Amino acid sequence: MSTRVFLCPRDELAPGSLKKVPNAEVGDICVYNLGGTYYATADLCTHATASLAEGDLEDDLITCPVHWGQFHVPSGRAVTFPCERHLRTYRIIVTDKDVFADVEAEAEEALADADATGSPV
């Protein structure tokens, strides 16, 4: 099984925007374009049942639309109450035209964050 999942064409997602990509195997994925750099996390908020793709993206923070908890998109780190569990992140693969996620690999920012804190995110 390939662990590479198609997310969107590169030109579909403008900087500062995000979208949900349904995925039956790992659960829905949220893909973000932060100033021209793509990131992907689980779409489901870790606090309760909410789609982060329906939230507000400002700089590198996504605010959940239900209770307004926040996550740092590049690392998946929960930063604002009531979110306490970090988001799953996925490593991005960008080709000439398209954006993919490797669903078996964490984003490099998440791993660096885990190294810095001594605990996995």
Residue 45 makes contact with ligand FES by CB under 6 A: yes
Smallest gap, in angstroms, from Cβ of residue 84 to ligand FES? 10
Q: Which positions ≥6 away from 73 have C-beta within 8 Å? A: 32, 34, 39, 41, 57, 60, 61, 62
53 is written with which tokens?
């793709």
CA–CA distances in Å: residue 36 to residues 18, 94, 103, 107, 121: 12, 11, 21, 16, 24
Residue from 5, 7, 62, 83 touching ligand FES (CB under 6 A): that is: 83
Which residue's CB is nearer to ligand FES, number 64 or number 110?
A: 64
Residue from 6, 9, 27, 48 touching ligand FES (CB under 6 A): that is: 48
Residue from 66, 105, 112, 114 touching ligand FES (CB under 6 A): that is: 66
Smallest gap, in angstroms, from Cβ of residue 65 to ligand FES? 7
